[in-house]
Amino acid sequence: MKLEFWKLHGCGNDYLFMDVRKPISAELDWPRLAQRLSDRRWGVGSDGLITINAAPGHDARMRIYNSDGSESEMCGNGLRALAKWLYDRGEAGREQSIVTGAGVLYPEVVASVQGRAQQIRVNMGSPRFSGRAVGIASLQGQSSESGQFAVDGENLTGHWVSMGNPHLVFFGELWNQQQMERRGPNLEHHAWFRNRINVHSAEIVDRHRMRMRHWERGSGITMACGTGAAGGGVLASRLRLMEMPVAVEVPGGELLVEWSGHDDDPTFLTGPAEEVFHGFVEWLAD
């Protein structure tokens, strides 16, 4: 079976997109397809696969499969990339509504060049700070919004937040690549988090700028994590470590986070999206 795909990224967080709004002639094992095509040596190479689905009353629905085949509720960079894909093809306007596993979200194209979207601002919804929101069954005597974690022989404080998917953020000196590779998988699979969790290191530069590195649940180290950057900015503001707006430097670029400081108010994330290439793959299921 020949499958058409497009590759897009937001700050280097790259995904393969497949349009499945028209029926495909055979049932596909999407988790296995995501695993095979995401492999950077034996496949096309990406952090995951996103399907573009029909959603009556909305511009589209996105389903996100990580590179290990697991499904994610939400991806901020993937959502901006999908908004660009729709806008560039004239299938949606500047203001869009897209159904995700975290509910309906509203990207807006805020800058374009010759009909091509360059910068997209996304209403990410309201952050949630409870242990229950990130999948903790029992806090075991810990604070309701943070916990102590044994990391390389130290007890470090991690703060959690849900942006429609779960995040654990550690503030302090930025972890290097080797530290992230070692610490990320251990914390992702920590016993507290029954659905696993995304792990982030955040270093504050000044009152309006910080740097982050990411270990994404199901994908490993990525160049950017939109929901993670949003969550990190919101937590820094909530803890009075920073003031809004917050510019987040990630290995693949820069994202802007805006939030009023009120728990029920939405978080906005602005950043670029770019289409890399378009192609076809012959899928021969085992």
Same domain, 43 and 138: no
Residue 175, in any domain of the structure: yes
Residue 39, in any domain of the structure: yes
Same domain, 15 and 101: yes
Residue 120, in any domain of the structure: no
What CATH number does the domain containing 234 carry? 3.10.310.10
Same domain, 89 and 138: no
Contact 48, 13 (CB under 8 A): no
Same domain, 258 and 152: yes
Residue 127, in any domain of the structure: no
Same domain, 244 and 278: no
Residue 272: cis peptide before it, omega within 30 degrees of 0 = no
Residue 155, in any domain of the structure: yes
Same domain, 255 and 278: no
pTM assigned to the model? 0.92
Residue 122, in any domain of the structure: no
Same domain, 45 and 156: no
Same domain, 138 and 255: yes
Tell me the residue type at 235. L
Same domain, 248 and 278: no
Rounded CA-CA distance 251/248 in Å is 10
User: What residue numbers bound the domain in which 188 lies?
Assistant: 132-265
At residue 25, the pLDDT reads: 57
Same domain, 230 and 148: yes
pLDDT tens for each residue of 172-228: 999 999 999 999 999 999 999 999 999 999 999 999 999 999 999 999 999 999 999
Q: How many domains does the chain have?
A: 2
Q: Choose the catalytic residue: 50, 52, 75, 212.
A: 75
Q: Partners of 122 in the beta sheet?
A: 107, 269
Is 11 annotated in the active site?
Answer: no
User: Which residues 6+ apart lie within 8 Å of 175 measured at CB?
Assistant: 183, 201, 213
User: How sure is the predictor about 239, in pLDDT bands with cuts at 50, 70 and 90?
Assistant: very high
Neighbours of 7 (CB within 10 A): 19
User: Is pLDDT of 142 > 90?
Assistant: no
Q: Choose the catalytic residue: 202, 225, 244, 247.
A: 225
CA angle 149, 245, 208 (to 5 degrees): 65
Rounded CA-CA distance 167/231 in Å is 7
pLDDT tens for each residue of 126-138: 999 989 899 997 7
Tell me, rounded to whole angstroms, the distance of Cα 82 from its chain centroid.
Answer: 13
